[in-house]
Amino acid sequence: MKKFPFRFIPLYVVILFFISACGNEKAENQNASAVIEQAPDFEVTTVSGETISLEESLNNDKPVVIYFTASWCPVCAQNWPSLSEVYPEYEDRLTLVAIGIDPTDDEQTMRSLAEEKGFTFPVTRGIPQIMLDYGVKSQATTVGVNKDGNIAFRKNKMVISADEYRELFDGLVQ
């Protein structure tokens, strides 16, 4: 009968430590993803004079998509055509608003941009406080708020195709 190799006990302890640590990390990640994040309320006036608020949209049983944008943002410029293509298909079922993040993007700048680029969706002047309230760190970020008022997704600083927007919007309106 062989004896247990006691000289390997430290190795066994280290292996068990890493196994348990990995298991705890996985459990923590699962718990973190299960955390529900309530969307902060906001009310904005678009460059066309329309008032949009999270509370009103949710009261009308419409989820909300906020696109944080800037007039000078090259990634945003790639997303505007996709948003303009897709929004008309969903405007009766969800609220979309592009909120400027740069305070120098005043109402006239954003109105001219919307006209020049043919936006089909509402847009506001630069209101950086809403970006901060939503924990958004950069332009070209899309945030979806479900009908319960919880943040359903954040797509940070990325180009999103029209089909990908449709998938995101479908997930909110169902």
pLDDT at 81 over 90: yes
Tens-place pLDDT, residues 104-149: 999 999 999 999 999 999 999 999 999 999 999 899 999 999 999 9
**So what's the pLDDT on residue 34?**
54
Tens-place pLDDT, residues 140-164: 999 999 999 999 999 998 899 999 9
**So what's the pLDDT on residue 35?**
75
pLDDT at 70 over 60: yes
Helix (H) or strand (E) holding 43: strand 43-45
**What are the DSSP calls for 22-52, one per residue?**
HHHHHHHHHHHHH---BPPP-EEE-TTS-EE
Task: Tell me the average pLDDT across 24-49.
Answer: 70
User: Residue 47 — very low, low, confident or very high, per pLDDT cuts 50/70/90?
Assistant: very high
**So what's the pLDDT on residue 103?**
95
Task: Please state whether 46 falls in left (phi above 0), alpha (psi between -120 and 50) or beta.
Answer: beta
**So what's the pLDDT on residue 152?**
95
Report the distance separating Cα 65 and Cα 123, nearest Å.
12
Mean residue pLDDT of the chain comes to 85
Task: Tell me the average pLDDT across 35-40.
Answer: 90
Q: For residue 126, what are the β-bridge partners? A: 100
